A = this chain, B = another copy of it.
Amino acid sequence: MDKYKNKDYTIDNEQLARFAKAMGHPARITILHYLASLDSCYFGDIHNELPIAKATVSQHLKELKDAGLIQGEIETPKVKYCINRENWEKAQAYFETFFALRKEKTSCCN
């Protein structure tokens, strides 16, 4: 039955949710904050900023990489992580557009 016909989420909503989800953990926000503001960005430096085990840090980094927000590059014996500028700006634009929606509007409740 066509209970849910024609009600798929839009690509944009899916993409924004994906970015938001990646940002939905304080460790990952801390990582992004760190990478966005500093030039030093080796795994060890990141691990040092966080109250969690390196295995867990590695997992969070993987999620951020999967979401496209960061990228990693091997510099034996270290790994250098950085903001993925292109997708960072894409995410920024998504959030900006999203919040702008509400601008200059009198909501039904407040």
In the complex, what's the smallest C-beta–C-beta distance from A59 to chain B, in angstroms?
16
Q: For chain A, which range describes its interface: under 10, 10 to 19, 20 to 34, or 35 or more residues?
A: 35 or more
Q: Does A78 sit within 8 A of B, measured CB to CB?
A: no
| List of B residues within 8 angstroms of A51 by Cβ | 4, 7-9
A9→B21 contact, CB < 8 A: no
Copies in the complex: 2
Considering the complex, give the chain B residue whose CB is closest to the CB of A52: B4
Contact A29-B39, Cβ < 8 Å, known A82-B108, A110-B85: no
Q: Which residues of A contact B (CB under 8 A)?
A: 4, 7-10, 13-14, 16-17, 20-30, 32-33, 35-37, 39-41, 49-52, 71, 73, 80, 82-86, 88, 91-92, 95-96, 98-99, 101-102, 105, 107-110
